Amino acid sequence: MFERRLYFHVDWLLLGAVYLLCAIGVVMIYSASGGARLYLTQLAAIALGTVALLVCLGIDYRSLADRSHLLYGFLVLLLVYVLIFGVVRGGGRRWIALPLFNLQPSEFMKIGLALVLARLFGDSRNRTPNARDLAIGGALTALPLLLIARQPDLGTAATLVPVLLAVAFVAGMRLKVAGILLAVAVVAAPIVWTVGLQDYQKGRVLTFVNPSRDPLGAGYQQIQARITVGAGGLWGKGFMKGTQGQQGFLPVAHNDFIFSVLAEEHGFIGVLAVLGLYAFVVLRTIETARLARDRLGTFLVVGALASFTFQVFYNVSMSAGLAPVKGLTLPLMSYGGSSVIASLAGIGLVLNVRMRRFTN
Amino acid sequence: MAGPPAIDRRTAAIRLTVLSAVVVAAFCALAVAFWYFQVVENATYRRMAENNHLRKLSLRAPRGVLFDRDGTLLVENRDAFTISILREHSADLDQTIHRLSAAAGVDELQVRETIRRHRGEPSYRPIVVIDDATLAQVSAVLARRLDYELPGVVVERVPTRRYPSVGLGAHVLGYVGEIGEAQMAADGLRSGSVVGQSGIEKAYNKMLMGVDGERRVKVNSVGREITTLDEVPASEGQRVRLTIDYDLQRAAEEAFHGLGYEGAAVILDPRSGEVLALVSLPAYDPNDFATGIDRATWSQLNTDRLRPLQNRAIQGRYSPGSTFKVVVAVAALEEGVITPDFTVTCRGGGTFFGRFFKCHLKGGHGTVDLRHAIEKSCNTYFYTIGNMVGVDRINKWATALGLTGRTGVDLPNESESLVPSTAWKKARTGEKWYAGETISVAIGQGQVSVTPMALASLYAAVGNGGIHYPPRLLRATNDGGGWKGVEPPAPQGVRLKPETIAALHDGLWLVVNGAGTGGRARVAGRDVSGKTGTAQVISLQGGKAAAGRTEMDLRDHGWFAFFAPRDNPEIAGVVFAEHGEHGASAAAPIARHVIETYFAKKAGLKPYPVFTPPAVPAAPAAARPVPPAGIADR
Supply the mean pLDDT for chain A.
Answer: 84
Q: Which residues of B touch A127 (CB under 8 A)?
A: 5, 7-8
How long a stretch of residues is chain B?
A: 634
| pLDDT value, residue B633 | 31
Convert the pLDDT of each residue in A251-271 to its tens digit: 677 788 899 989 989 999 999
Q: Select the residue from A282, A296, A299, A319 to test the B interface by mutation, using most B Cβ atoms within 10 A.
A: A282
| pLDDT value, residue A112 | 93
B85: distance to nearest CA of chain A, Å? 15
Confidence of residue A8 (pLDDT cuts 50, 70, 90): confident
The fraction of chain B above a pLDDT of 90, given in percent, is: 49
Helix axis angle for B588-602 and B246-259, nearest 10°, is 150
B35 interface with A at CB cutoff 8 Å: yes
Residues 6+ apart with CB under 8 A from B415: B314, B315, B316, B317, B406, B451
From CA B248, how far away is CA B492, in angstroms rounded?
A: 26
pLDDT at B549 over 60: no
DSSP-derived 3-state class of residue B154: strand
B164 interface with A at CB cutoff 8 Å: no
Confidence of residue A240 (pLDDT cuts 50, 70, 90): confident
pLDDT at B498 over 80: yes
Q: What is the mean pLDDT of the segment spanning B199-212?
A: 91
| pLDDT value, residue B34 | 92
Q: Select the residue from B14, B19, B28, B96 to test the A interface by mutation, using most A Cβ atoms within 10 A.
A: B19
Count of other CB atoms within 10 angstroms of residue A136: 16
| pLDDT value, residue B3 | 45
Of the candidates B207, B211, B173, the one whose C-alpha atom is nearest the C-alpha of residue B193 is B211
Q: How far apart are the first and last CA of chain A?
A: 13
Instruction: Residues B246-295+312-474+493-609: name the CATH superfamily.
Output: DD-peptidase/beta-lactamase superfamily (3.40.710.10)
Output the CATH code of domain B55-88+126-139+157-242: 3.90.1310.10
B34 interface with A at CB cutoff 8 Å: yes
B94 interface with A at CB cutoff 8 Å: no
- Residue spans per domain, chain B: 55-88+126-139+157-242, 246-295+312-474+493-609
Q: Residue A321 region, left (φ>0) first, then alpha (ψ -120 to 50), else beta? A: left
From CA B230, how far away is CA B62, in angstroms rounded?
A: 20
A282 interface with B at CB cutoff 8 Å: yes
From CA B268, how far away is CA A150, in angstroms rounded?
A: 88
pLDDT at B629 over 60: no
Q: Which residues of A touch B34 (CB under 8 A)?
A: 229, 263, 268, 271-272, 275, 320
Q: Mark yes or no for CB contact A224/B52 under 8 Å.
A: yes
| pLDDT value, residue B1 | 39
pLDDT at B456 over 70: yes
| pLDDT value, residue A247 | 63
pLDDT at A288 over 50: yes
A167 interface with B at CB cutoff 8 Å: no
Convert the pLDDT of each residue in B34-63 to its tens digit: 999 999 988 888 888 777 777 777 788 899
pLDDT at B623 over 50: no
Of the candidates B629, B633, B532, the one whose C-alpha atom is nearest the C-alpha of residue B281 is B629
Convert the pLDDT of each residue in A95-134 to its tens digit: 777 766 678 888 999 999 999 999 988 887 666 777 788 8
B22 interface with A at CB cutoff 8 Å: no
Highest mean pLDDT among B92-96, B436-440, B616-620: B436-440
Whether the complex's predicted ipTM surpasses the cut of 0.85:
yes
Q: Which residues of B touch A248 (CB under 8 A)?
A: 220-222
A130 interface with B at CB cutoff 8 Å: no
Residues 6+ apart with CB under 8 A from A43: A26
Confidence of residue B74 (pLDDT cuts 50, 70, 90): very high
Q: Which of A305-319, B142-156, B460-474 has the lowest mean pLDDT?
A: B142-156
> Does B341 or B544 have the greater pLDDT score?
B341
State how beta strands B239-242 and B66-67 pair. parallel
Report whether A79 contacts A144 (CB < 8 A): yes
Q: What number of H helices and E strands is found in chain A? A: 15, 3
Detail the DSSP E strand segments found in A3-144: 87-89, 92-97, 102-103
DSSP-derived 3-state class of residue A29: helix
Supply the mean pLDDT for chain B.
Answer: 85
| pLDDT value, residue A308 | 94
DSSP-derived 3-state class of residue A101: coil
Of the candidates B392, B404, B396, the one whose C-alpha atom is nearest the C-alpha of residue B437 is B392
Buried b (16+ CB within 10 A) or exposed e, B486-509: beeeebbbeebeeebbebbbbbbb
Highest mean pLDDT among B80-84, B144-148, B252-256, B433-437: B252-256
Convert the pLDDT of each residue in A184-227 to its tens digit: 877 777 777 666 677 777 776 666 666 655 555 556 777 888 88
> Does B85 or B550 have the greater pLDDT score?
B85
Q: Which residues of A touch B50 (CB under 8 A)?
A: 243
Q: Which residues of B touch A126 (CB under 8 A)?
A: none
A304 interface with B at CB cutoff 8 Å: no
| pLDDT value, residue B632 | 33
Of the candidates B230, B201, B88, B95, the one whose C-alpha atom is nearest the C-alpha of residue B154 is B88
| pLDDT value, residue B621 | 37
Q: What is the mean pLDDT of the segment spanning B506-528?
A: 89
A125: distance to nearest CA of chain B, Å? 10
B51 interface with A at CB cutoff 8 Å: no
Detail the DSSP E strand segments found in B29-183: 54-59, 66-67, 73-85, 127-133, 153-162, 176-178
Confidence of residue B301 (pLDDT cuts 50, 70, 90): confident
pLDDT at B188 over 50: yes
Q: Which residues of A touch B5 (CB under 8 A)?
A: 127
Q: How far apart are the first and last CA of chain B?
A: 108
Confidence of residue B570 (pLDDT cuts 50, 70, 90): very high
Of the candidates B371, B347, B348, B331, the one whose C-alpha atom is nearest the C-alpha of residue B529 is B371
